[in-house]
Structure 1
Amino acid sequence: MVHAGGRPVPSLINDNFERLDKVANSSGRYFWKCKHCGNLDNSPGAKIQGRDNSLPNHIIRHCKDAAPELRRKARTFIMNKTGDDGGQVISPAASSSSGGVIKKRKKISTLDGYVDYPLSDEQAKLANIKLLRFIIHANIPFRVGDDEYFREFIDVIRPSYKVPSRYVLSHHLLDGEAV
């Protein structure tokens, strides 16, 4: 959706928030209401000022009714928006033979600013094999792949990693490992 004279509103925002009245300053921003928890009494989603990453951060940190997949989409949205690579930035001069300067990014002291990057296909395959080997050597049943609490635990550690189901663990991955 495009508002008069503005940028298009991203689908994550448009699908999960309802635009309210304009903020009483010259910023041109609006207040938004969360479609999941905004109708509840004393909800943090009842009136959110649409600035920086406050709307996706609401989904990630404050909305109790947001599904884990929606939280994952919000994290990916922030990661794509900021383009944060979390490491060192080498200036273009550093890659030349003249010996440029390496600029370091400002360090974040806590994990609050951590953004989980989606796994590549190769990283996901390697993670699945490592998980399978752990399950086999720790003598854990394959049904752990379908366990809700195990999935929540993995979501806390690495939100972008999707745990393979019991069937995938016991058939596809085990057969591939046996070969």
Structure 2
Amino acid sequence: MKSYIAALLVALSLVACASSNKTDTSKSPTQDNAKQAQADANSAQVAAAEQAQLLQQLRKDSVYFDYKKSAVKSEFGEVIKKQAEFIRAHKNDTVTLEGNCDERGSDKYNLALGSRRADAVSRQLQLLGVPKAQIKLVSYGKEKPRSACHDESCWKDNRRVDFNHKLNQ
């Protein structure tokens, strides 16, 4: 009798310790995968839209210069810092710094001044950790004015460096 009770206790112990793995048959793995894929696609679309909006804002940035000067003014430090952060985060992309001048001066002088302005912004970006390989320089001199009138209010808009990002995703 004792052996019968002992065997019964062992059997009850084993039954009590057994795990109860119940599977939910209401959802198939294919449905879960499809939902996850849709969530991933939606997330990627949101990220792409946010990046496109940021890129559009960055392309509107310009660094402006005083007459006949190529020194970057301290007031444009935040603009350059924001640009540097974006460029560093996108290591496969490049930015072309486009130097511009107002209409005064010869073509040769303005091309050289536009080049010095683009180079000045490039040096600032490099100081903030942007690799030189990601930066291209071009000078348009007075060939691409933003404003077409012929007074100081327009000339100050034309003395600038613009940021032209190229994404190589």
TM-score range, shorter chain: under 0.3
Question: Higher helix fraction: Structure 1 or Structure 2?
Answer: 2
Larger radius of gyration: 2
Q: Which protein, 1 or 2, shows the higher relative CO under an 8 Å CA cutoff with sep ≥ 6?
A: 2
Question: Higher strand fraction: Structure 1 or Structure 2?
Answer: 2
**TM-score, with normalisation over the residues of structure 1?**
0.21
